[in-house]
Structure 1
């Protein structure tokens, strides 16, 4: 029996490749996409991608979808409550699995599994434990295209924001930076995929530096704004 699955779409390279594998899997039936945005900014958190471009991706994939607005500066408790409310209708429709594009962050995987278990869902991780460089190489070889939309300033300078994800980009990464950015070093926007009905048109806007407070620590990120074409 097919595993009735909804997929957690976050608009970057890992999520795009993970969905590709799920769509190729005859034992999995992907029937819905779930994605989140910052309620105030109307952008994808940590990616900074505008809602209009996110919707363009979802339309190009041509599957039913839900966009969940997450309150700005919300607590984990609030976040979890909002997500639980969003997935409740999917559970009622008979969805049994939720899929993600995570590669190797064990604590995040465990957290997702624990949260899903509370509502009787199981998790799928199509990219789990794959080599990061292999993930990026496969992404490129299959014809996907992506642009870097945010970089962690602790690891990368502003020049990496707004670059196309290709082998030159990977070659230029400093030592210690994961080739897939799995530790949060960089985030991307996928604008072309084998299963997109069409490519996503956009223009590259300005680069902006923003800081975020987490406890007593401050983190800086360079964002490359993407505009509707």
Structure 2
């Protein structure tokens, strides 16, 4: 019996993570020793999806893989420093691979490889190079259930918050957005079916509009607005 390679799965809590993890577990090439997620130290929720740590922990419990949460502070370089610490932590356990659920964003993959390769960790992308239509088709056949919890306000309005991601809701998407939301158009929370042994219970009490200012490379500032569901267990 061949020995599986030890890996950490970088978990966002959403559909692409769940689909990629399901694929990895089915193929059985890797021993996934932990799910790794980053949270905001102040809010105790994931930074982009805004999923509370309690829900992330319940997802991990339902899947049956331990969760390792990295709490990030709002200071320059903290992400790289904390992720480097986490990487060394897992290397001491014999981990050689970090797995992600990206689809086609080459700059994101390069960023991961630039930081992990020098540390002796190989990046694995199970969904890589597939079209968004292919990934969505695989997701709809996977049995995994997810709900939309964040939308980019100028792409999808607040009425999408709380909708089940299925053929019905997908048919309501404007033609110009990526069907998988790979460019940040929307984010989801996976909660049942597929890799989940039991349903992860949560509620969405309201959708609120929030805005963030991002400084661009040319020094200008651009504002992005999102609809975000308020999640609780």
Pick the TM interval, shorter chain: over 0.9
- Distance in 1 (alpha carbons) for counterparts of 2:15 and 2:115: 24
Map of 1:139 onto structure 2: 139
So what's the TM-score if we normalise by structure 2? Answer: 0.93
The answer to whether the Cα contact below 8 Å between 1:16 and 1:193 also exists between their aligned partners in 2 is no
Match of 2:20 among 18, 22, 26: 18
Map of 1:94 onto structure 2: 94
So what's the TM-score if we normalise by structure 1? Answer: 0.95
- Structure 1 position 27, deviation (Å): 2.1
Match of 1:221 among 214, 219, 226: 226
- Structure 1 position 180, deviation (Å): 0.4
- Judge which range, 54-63 or 130-139, deviates more: 130-139
What are structure 1's unaligned runs of at least 5 residues?
A: none
Q: Residue deviations 1:84-142, cap 9 Å, x none?
A: 11221101111000000000000100110111012110010000011212212221222
Match of 1:8 among 1, 7, 10: 10
The RMSD of aligned alpha carbons is 1.1
Number of equivalent positions: 226
What are structure 2's unaligned runs of at least 5 residues?
A: 216-220
What is the 5 A alignment of 1:144-223? 144-215=144-215, 216-223=221-228
- Judge which range, 148-157 or 97-106, deviates more: 148-157
**SS in structure 2 of the partner of residue 118 of structure 1:** helix
- Structure 1 position 30, deviation (Å): 1.3
Q: Residue deviations 1:22-75, cap 9 Å, x none?
A: 101232221111111111111111211111111110111111221110113x33
- Structure 1 position 9, deviation (Å): 0.4
**SS in structure 2 of the partner of residue 134 of structure 1:** helix
**SS in structure 1 of the partner of residue 190 of structure 2:** strand
- Distance in 2 (alpha carbons) for counterparts of 1:92 and 1:214: 36
